Amino acid sequence: MINVRTRKTVSLENYRHVIDSKIYEEIGKLADELKGIRICHVNATAYGGGVAEILRQEIPLLKSLGLDFTWAVINEGEEFFNVTKKIHNALQGGDQEFTEDEWRYYEYCNQNLASEFDPSLYDLVVVHDPQPAKMIAYLKKGKTKFVWRCHIDTTSPNEKVLNYFKKFIDLYDAYIFSAEQYVFKSLKKKIFIIPPAIDPLSKKNVKLDRAQAESKLRSFKINTKRPIVSQVSRFDPWKDPLGVVEAYKIAKKRIPNLRLVYAGNVADDDPEALRIYKQFEKAVENDKDIIVMYNQEGLEINALQTISDVVIQKSLREGFGLTVSEALWKGTPVIAGNVGGIPLQIEDGVNGYLVSSTQECAEKLIFLLENKEIAKGMGRLGREKVRQNFLLPRLIRDELAVIKEVLGSLIHAKIN
Ligand code: UDP
């Protein structure tokens, strides 16, 4: 396991102009109460995907409040991540078969993780997602509290895999899910619902004007005078990259100068991604109006979300979908799959569209491209929805409140 060093310097004060003062004050109060408490986040990757994105932004802010936070990333190899990607897919409802050897390897690696991890260094440990989840079965927890934070869309999980998880998930002291419908039935400990959030001050979300965005995209040869639709997503079947291409092709028959920009990356813990990337490359190779931005982040993604006329997030399953809030925050209307955590962010027909098929996606795309004023209005409402609900300080407030509740009397013992 490797401790991630986050060097960014930030201050909650910088967020005052975007968040409501109530949240600002609540964070201050909670931070005072939690001084001296040692917390560790454990997840599977420092790069790629929403969890790494959130931790990279929130850990420096939490530290700036004088809190003692550590971020540890597991460093198991590709074979482990092959199994855990299958587990991830199965918990999202995919039809996966596992061999005995695969389960044994998952357990062996989690045993290794447990042997490298000393719970006595922390008062509370937040374990993210399935990859390191079973570590708890091989640890001596002592007085340390453990919270399992599930980010994935477990609306209709594969029952066999769910039953396997239920056998050890009871060892946790509390659970955090992103939405009510994800909660596993029959959990006996405290359950908290906390949707994720985006950092309005990160390079990815800071305000860019059109000229700045255009200049960031120049090297990708994106002609910003023509209509642009984009999707930003890992190369993952649940993000339906080929469905995005299909929707674009249908819309292009009506709007011939339309261009599609697909920004896609490969997370460190996702061995499936390269195969999907190759499949995608093949599907788009004959269309010069499709541009692929590979492994970009920060300002480049920001520029793309800013400049796009419409953003698509055509997910088939989606734990939350930070990319939806990221685009809405830039005032860009979003058409997205009506799944998982996306309806938390999009009210259908108000600040975007929720769709259930490629055809529907294409129709809404044509509509928004042909009705620019309506599109703009939706983008404006989207930005306000994100401001009120999905910005980092709200997430930090909610998480600190959970830590306080789970630790309960320990906090008083430390202070007294
Ligand atoms: N992302 C990125 N570059 C890419 C593709 C994705 O920086 O080429 C970022 C994206 O902007 C978002 C995160 O990766 O911040 C993905 O989070 P999301 O919750 O949308 O999906 P996940 O990958 O966690 O399923």
Q: Spell out the SS3 assignment of 30-80.
A: HHHHCCCCEEEEEECCCCCCHHHHHHHHHHHHHHHCCCEEEEEECCCCHHH
Give the pLDDT confidence score for residue 297 in this predicted structure.
94
pLDDT tens by residue, 191-225: 999 999 999 999 999 999 999 999 999 999 998 89
Q: Looking at ligand 1, which atom is closest to the CA of residue 294? A: 8
Contact 285, 306 (CB under 8 A): no
Q: Looking at ligand 1, which atom is closest to the CA of residue 196? A: 19
Confidence of residue 5 (pLDDT cuts 50, 70, 90): confident
| Ligand 1 centroid from CA 127, angstroms | 20
Confidence of residue 416 (pLDDT cuts 50, 70, 90): low
Give the pLDDT confidence score for residue 353 in this predicted structure.
98
Q: Which domains does the chain have, with CATH numbers?
A: 2-197+392-415 (3.40.50.2000), 210-389 (3.40.50.2000)
Closest residue to atom 14 of ligand 1, CA basis:
49
Give the pLDDT confidence score for residue 70 in this predicted structure.
97
Give, in order, the Cα–Cα distances in Å from 11 to each of 8, 14, 60, 61, 389. 10, 6, 9, 6, 20
pLDDT tens by residue, 357-405: 999 999 999 999 999 999 999 999 999 999 999 999 999 999 999 999 9
Return d(Cα 227, Cα 224) in angstroms, integer: 7
Closest CA to 140 of 123, 124, 119: 119
Q: Which letter does DSSP use for residue 225 in this model?
A: T
Give the pLDDT confidence score for residue 68 in this predicted structure.
97
Amino acid code (one letter) for 135: M
Give the pLDDT confidence score for residue 151 in this predicted structure.
97
Q: Work out the percent of the chain whose per-residue pLDDT is above 90.
A: 91
Return d(Cα 184, Cα 187) in angstroms, integer: 6
* Sequence-separated contacts (24+) of 347-350 with Cβ below 8 Å: 347/385, 350/378, 350/381
φ, ψ for residue 189, nearest 5 deg: -100, 180
Lowest mean pLDDT among 268-272, 275-279, 337-341: 268-272
pTM for the full model?
0.95
Return d(Cα 409, Cα 328) in angstroms, integer: 41
Side-chain half-sphere of 61: how many Cα atoms within 13 Å? Answer: 26
| Ligand 1 centroid from CA 230, angstroms | 13
Q: Work out the percent of the chain whose per-residue pLDDT is above 70.
A: 99
Q: Looking at ligand 1, which atom is closest to the CA of residue 204? A: 11
Reading the block at residue 71, the tokens are 């971020």
Return d(Cα 25, Cα 256) in angstroms, integer: 52
Reading the block at residue 207, the tokens are 């305000």
Give the pLDDT confidence score for residue 120 in this predicted structure.
97
User: Pocket residues for ligand 1 (CB within 6 Å)?
Assistant: 49-50, 53, 204, 232-234, 263-265, 296-297, 301, 320-323, 326
pLDDT tens by residue, 136-152: 999 999 999 999 999 99
Return d(Cα 197, Cα 391) in angstroms, integer: 5
Closest CA to 242 of 358, 363, 385, 415: 358
193 burial via Cβ count (<10 Å: 0-12, 13-18, 19+): middle
Side-chain half-sphere of 58: how many Cα atoms within 13 Å? Answer: 25
